[in-house]
């Protein structure tokens, strides 16, 4: 009974500013600048050297491609935890196929990802199961499959595909993915439909949005993009071990949240969340490494920052009961 909630206390000015949409929209950009400046000071300017920047950039490509797909899933208000295992499995498929034909390998990777996405989407839509439960199940399932396929040795990729490890190619692919996704999000009804499902699924259905189809296809697309990201991963690393893509799902989740994506999805998502978030995560990650922190300290700091950003950016109005 929301009407019994007392509303008569005036929130303080600072508080109302902190919870305003303007602030929430600006926060990621402020965060990015702050993190770059802070890291630059703490590392005595080492993070902004051309060599470092190039290294930084090389870590951005495939997470950014994956984050683009997950961005759409999270706009639905759903969540996807399968990126890591999808990337691992798709990388294995690509590596194996790379001995036959490279275009076939790329296609195989994308199809592998799409198939996993389709499984997620099918269970989510058909059985009306929460996406986080489904994707955790499938994450485990495919993580196991990856481990099984790499039990004996790592899976090597062909020399031909490794030869493609060129910055221009990776940049082209990443930029192309971002541009196409941005275009679809802004200039076709895909963006509107996905946002509408995220903000109010029932009303969207009553307005003629084919909600089940939108949800299913979004999961398929996210999987397919992860499959494409696997290609970028394979040309970089060359041979796939059981740990390929480990923790990618958390990295992406944290990146998007840092980028200001409200965990509730819906109308308040911004496409810039993907770029700002991925950059922020990478700078943060590199800065922490350069400052010589051990991995546990890095993780502690990331965990705290993650919780802080969720608490600041979440749209509590969109949640009727917080579970």
Partner 1 sequence: MSNTIEKLKASRYYGLVLLGAMLLFFYGVFKILTPSNFGSLSNLYTYLQASIIYSVGGCGLYFIVVMGLFDFAVGANIVLSSIVGVILSQKFGYAGFILGCLGCGTLIGFLIGMLYNSLNVPSMIVTVGLMLIFESVAVFVAGGVKQTLGENLRFFSGAPGNIILALLAFLLMYFILNYTKIGTYCNAIGSNEFTAKNMGINVKKYKLIGFMLLHFFVGIMAILTVSYGTTMTALTGMSTMGRNFQPLMGTFFGVAFRKYKMPITAIVVGEFIIQIIFNGFVALGAPTTIQNVVTGGALLVIVSLTARGGKGSVVK
Partner 2 sequence: MENRVLLVAENIDKRFGITHAVDNVSLTINAGEVRGLIGENGSGKSTFSQMLCGIYSIGGGTFTLDGKVLHCRNQVEANNEGVAIIVQEMGTLSGLTVAENIFLGHEEPFMHLGVKDTRAMNKEAQRLLDEYGFGRIKAGNMIDLYNFEDRKLVEIVKATYMKPKILVIDETTTALSQNGRMELYKIMDAIRADGRTVIFISHDLNEVLTHTDTVSVLRDGEYIATVNTRDVTEDDLKRLMVGREIGSAYYRTDYGEPISGEVVLSVRDVSVPGQIDHVSFELHRGEILGFGGLSECGMHEVGKAIFAASWDRTGSVTLADGTEINSIPTAIAHSIAYASKDRDNESVILNESIRNNIVLPSLGDLANHGLLSGKKLTKFAEKHALDMQTKMQNVGQFVSDLSGGNKQKVVLARWLGKGSDILVLDSPTRGIDVKVKQAIYALMADLRRQGKSIIMISEEIPELLGMADRIIIMKDGVLNGEFLRDPALSEEDLIAKMV
- For residue 236, the minimal CB distance to partner 2 (Å) is 35
- Report which DSSP code applies to 216: H
Q: Which H or E element spans position 309? A: helix 295-313
Decide: is 20 part of the binding site for partner 2 (CB under 8 A): no
Q: What are phi and psi of 290, to 5 degrees?
A: -65, -30
Chosen from partner 2, partner 1, none, partner binding at 11 (C-beta under 5 to 8 Å by type)? none
- Binding partner 1 (rule: CB under 8 A), the pick from 93, 131, 231, 276 is 131
CA 315, CA 323: separation in Å to the nearest integer?
A: 14
State the Cα–Cα distance between residues 14 and 214, nearest whole angstrom.
39
By the rule CB under 8 A, 134 interacts with partner 1: yes
Contact map string, positions 281 to 310, toward partner 2, x by CB under 8 A: ------------------------------
165 Rama sector, left if φ>0, alpha if ψ -120 to 50, beta otherwise = beta
42 binds partner 1 (CB under 8 A): no
77 or 84, CB closer to partner 2?
77
Q: DSSP secondary-structure letter at 10?
A: P
Residue 250 site contact among partner 2, partner 1, none (CB < 5 to 8 Å, cut-off depends on kind): partner 1
Task: Give φ, ψ of 155 to 5 degrees.
Answer: -90, 115
Q: In angstroms, rounded to a whole number, what is the distance separating the alpha carbons of residues 96 and 92?
A: 6
Q: Which is nearer to partner 2, 59 or 272 (CB)?
A: 272
Q: Which stretch binds partner 2 (CB under 8 A): 94-102, 162-170, 186-194, 217-225?
A: 186-194
Please classify residue 11 by burial: count the beta carbons closer than 10 Å to its beta carbon, then call 0-12 exposed, 13-18 middle and 19+ buried. Answer: exposed
Q: List the interface residues with partner 1, window 173-202 (CB under 8 A).
A: 201-202
Minimum distance, C-beta of residue 202 to partner 2, in the bound complex (Å)? 5
Q: Which of 311, 301, 76 is nearest to 197 (CA)?
A: 76
In the complex, what is the shortest distance from the CB of residue 250 to partner 1, in angstroms, rounded to a whole number?
A: 6
Question: Sign (positive/negative) of CA torsion 66, 69, 71, 74?
Answer: negative
SS3 label, residue 156: strand
Contact with partner 1 (CB under 8 A) among 21, 148, 292, 317: 148
CA gyration radius, the chain: 20
Site string for partner 1, 74-113 (x = CB under 8 A): --xxxx----------------------------------
**Residue 185 contacts residue 271 (beta carbons within 8 Å):** yes
d(CA 204, CA 122): 20
Which residues lie near partner 1 (CB under 8 A)? 1, 76-79, 123-124, 127-134, 136-145, 147-148, 151, 201-202, 242, 246-247, 250, 253, 263, 265, 294-297, 299-300, 302-304, 306-307, 310-311, 314, 316, 319, 321-323
List of residues contacting partner 2 (CB under 8 A): 1, 3-4, 186-189, 192-193, 195-196, 199-200, 202-210, 266-268, 315, 317-318
């Amino acid at each position: 009974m929301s009407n019994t909630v007392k509303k008569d206390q005036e929130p303080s000015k600072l508080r109302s500013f902190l919870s305003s949409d303007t602030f929430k929209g600006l926060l990621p950009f402020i965060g990015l600048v702050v993190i770059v400046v802070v890291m630059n000071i703490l590392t005595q300017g080492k993070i902004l050297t051309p060599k470092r920047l190039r290294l930084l950039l090389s870590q951005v490509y495939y997470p950014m491609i994956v984050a683009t797909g997950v961005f759409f899933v999270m706009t639905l208000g759903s969540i996807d935890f399968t990126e890591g295992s999808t990337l691992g499995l798709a990388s294995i498929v690509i590596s194996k196929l790379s001995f036959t034909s490279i275009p076939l390998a790329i296609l195989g990777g994308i199809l592998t990802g799409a198939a996993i996405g389709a499984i997620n989407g099918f269970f989510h839509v058909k059985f009306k199961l929460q996406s986080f439960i489904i994707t955790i199940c499938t994450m485990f399932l495919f993580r196991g499959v990856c481990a099984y396929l790499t039990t004996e040795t790592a899976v090597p990729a062909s020399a031909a595909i490794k030869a493609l490890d060129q910055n221009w190619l990776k940049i082209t692919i990443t930029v192309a993915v971002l541009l196409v996704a941005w275009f679809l999000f802004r200039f076709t009804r895909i963006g509107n439909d996905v946002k509408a499902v995220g903000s109010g699924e029932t009303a969207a259905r009553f307005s003629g949005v084919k909600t089940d189809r939108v949800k299913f296809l979004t999961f398929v697309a996210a999987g397919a993009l992860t499959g494409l990201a696997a290609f970028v991963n394979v040309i970089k690393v060359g041979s796939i071990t059981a740990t390929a893509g480990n923790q990618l799902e958390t990295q992406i989740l944290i990146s998007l949240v840092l980028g200001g994506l409200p965990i509730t999805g819906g109308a308040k998502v911004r496409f810039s969340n993907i770029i700002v978030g991925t950059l922020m995560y990478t700078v943060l990650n590199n800065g922490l490494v350069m400052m010589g922190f051990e991995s546990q300290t890095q993780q502690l700091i990331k965990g705290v920052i993650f919780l802080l950003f969720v608490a600041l950016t979440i749209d509590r109005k969109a949640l009727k009961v917080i579970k």
